[in-house]
Amino acid sequence: MMMLLNLFLPELVLIFMALVFFFLSFTRPSAGALQLIAIIFAGIALFACWLTYRNSGTLFAGVYQVDGFSQTFKGLIAFGLILIIWMGSGLRGISRAVRPEYFMFLALSCLGLLLMCSAVELLTIILSIELSSYALYILIPMRQHPGRRAPLEAGIKYILFGAVATGITLYGMSYLFGLAHSTYLAEIMKVLPNLLVHQPIAVIGLVMLLCGLFYKLALFPMHFWMPDIYVGAAHETTCFVATLPKIGAAALLIRLISLAGGDSVHLVWVLSIMAVLSMTLGNLSALGQDDIKRLLAYSSIAHAGYIIVGILSMNELGLVSATYYVYGYMLMNVACFYVIYNLSPEGRNICFSDLKGLYKRSPLMAAILTCGSIGLAGIPPMIGFTGKFLIFIAVLQEKYYWLMGFAVVNVCVSAFYYLRLVRAAYSSIEQETPEIRLDVYTFLLGLLIIVSIIAGGIFPQNFIHLTKIAIGSILYLSR
């Protein structure tokens, strides 16, 4: 029992959170109260991650590995959850009747993500991915929207694509199982590096397995769902879909990739082609978008590419920088969604013309949008720059010059549409538009976001140090 508490505390907190919201769904509490409870639980989960940071061990017959690495990622997810709940103050996009359920499924989806960080066995991996996905399948159609069609369409699309991705993942797993005769990563790890060099089927199996994660990351070719789900889901939900599953997927991806042992040329080729296509396709598609959420969707496809670039360099710095990048990506996306959410009180999707004159309506929001978007573009001193910088160093350490070339060209292309966001926010309009009033908590969150984007970019040392230890522990395991 003590063992369970020592290792499983963050997950237990989220399970309890889901239960509490299940019972709350019998009553009709106000959005503010629900939100407060949710933030408190997320805070406790974060605290629990911190408490269990130094513990390590396995649970449930060795399928569940708790170590510094998993706890770091769980902490990131819990922190992200706090930000996202805090951002969606008032839950304006979700109809009153389903608000407690909304938080319940949010907690369950997060629980799935936490499980992903620790899963070290194929079936556990599938279970955790599915737990987080199933909760999201229900979350996405929960939107207060004049036309019910778009959210439902988004929900259905997400389910269908998710099912296909899971199918491919299971198929890949069956190959790996056939080759390694085990579902435990620890066992697979012993034979996989050798197999990857001699058996093409092992590469195919591993890549197919990774497809489930690529789906969460929205990496080419598993990116098709992204734009429609962004547009269809409520802003709060979109912000969640855009950020946290990527952290979970990155955690699992780093664990799986470190299995490959770092010298599989084929795997690197496959991953880098996917990364390049993802960056290029995402950025080029984003250039022509008018809907801000759709733009962010394509941009996040591109960012998945950058993350993969960091991961596929497979050295310590590469994995650390990918982690740092995912964290920065989360902050910058929360910044953008913060603006989208507060700009449309009625929960409608916004486009460039709505951003016009934002500067006059709310200087803070214009500043946040600027920080978020130029951070995503990778301009110093924002966190996005430091992330890209670290990734580029890691890639060049491995001498993947051509990959670097593609990434750099993509940075230039992406700057154009991120700059459009800034320009729209600071362009003037003739007619008077009402000032946007932010309540104190939202205002504070805005300041927090700006500070963390800039300070995180200038002083990355603590974060790098933390993740370096975490990554070091799993690299040590795999070598």
Residues near another protein, by CB under 8 A: 320, 359, 363, 370, 374, 379-381, 385, 389-390, 392-393, 396-397, 404, 408, 411-412, 415-416, 419, 422-423, 426-427, 459-461, 464-465, 468
Which position has the token pair 């992406």? 414
Q: How far is the CB of 291 from another protein (least distance, A)?
A: 21
- Residue number with CB closer to another protein (43 or 381): 381
Residue 333 zone, left/alpha/beta (φ > 0; ψ -120 to 50; rest)? alpha
Start-to-end C-alpha separation, the chain: 32
- Residue number with CB closer to another protein (133 or 373): 373
Q: What is the C-alpha to C-alpha distance for residues 166 and 162, in angstroms, rounded to an integer? A: 6
Q: How far is the CB of 395 from another protein (least distance, A)?
A: 9
- Residue number with CB closer to another protein (64 or 406): 406
- Residue number with CB closer to another protein (24 or 471): 471
Measuring CA to CA, which residue among 392, 257, 252, 231 is closest to residue 318?
392
- Residue number with CB closer to another protein (159 or 358): 358
- Three-state SS letters, the chain: CHHHHHHHHHHHHHHHHHHHHHHHCCCCCCHHHHHHHHHHHHHHHHHHHHHCCCCCEEECCCCEEECHHHHHHHHHHHHHHHHHHHHCCCCCCCCHHHHHHHHHHHHHHHHHHHHHHHECEHHHHHHHHHHHHHHHHHHCCCCCCCCCHHHHHHHHHHHHHHHHHHHHHHHHHHHHHHHHCCCEHHHHHHHHHHHHHHCHHHHHHHHHHHHHHHHHHCCCCCCCHHHHHHHHCCHHHHHHHHHHHHHHHHHHHHHHHHHHCCCCHHHHHHHHHHHHHHHHHHHHHHHCCCEHHHHHHHHHHHHHHHHHHHHHCCCHHHHHHHHHHHHHHHHHHHHHHHHHHHHCCCCCCCEHHHHCCHHHHCHHHHHHHHHHHHHHHCCCCCHHHHHHHHHHHHHHHCCCHHHHHHHHHHHHHHHHHHHHHHHHHHCCCCCCCCCCCCCHHHHHHHHHHHHHHHHHHHCCHHHHHHHHHHHHHHHHHHC
Q: How far is the CB of 424 from another protein (least distance, A)?
A: 11
- Residue number with CB closer to another protein (393 or 448): 393
Q: How far is the CB of 324 from another protein (least distance, A)?
A: 10
- Residue number with CB closer to another protein (54 or 465): 465
- Residue number with CB closer to another protein (20 or 415): 415
- Residue number with CB closer to another protein (27 or 428): 428
Measuring CA to CA, which residue among 148, 117, 134 is closest to residue 474?
117
- Residue number with CB closer to another protein (232 or 460): 460
Q: How far is the CB of 149 from another protein (least distance, A)?
A: 36
Q: How far is the CB of 415 from another protein (least distance, A)?
A: 5
Q: How far is the CB of 219 from another protein (least distance, A)?
A: 23
- Residue number with CB closer to another protein (9 or 471): 471
Q: How far is the CB of 429 from another protein (least distance, A)?
A: 13
Q: How far is the CB of 374 from another protein (least distance, A)?
A: 6
How is residue 466 written in tokens?
A: 């933390």
The amino acid at 351? C
- Residue number with CB closer to another protein (95 or 397): 397
Which backbone phi and psi does 275 adopt, to 5 degrees? -65, -45
Q: How far is the CB of 421 from another protein (least distance, A)?
A: 12
Q: How far is the CB of 403 from another protein (least distance, A)?
A: 12
Q: How far is the CB of 369 from another protein (least distance, A)?
A: 12
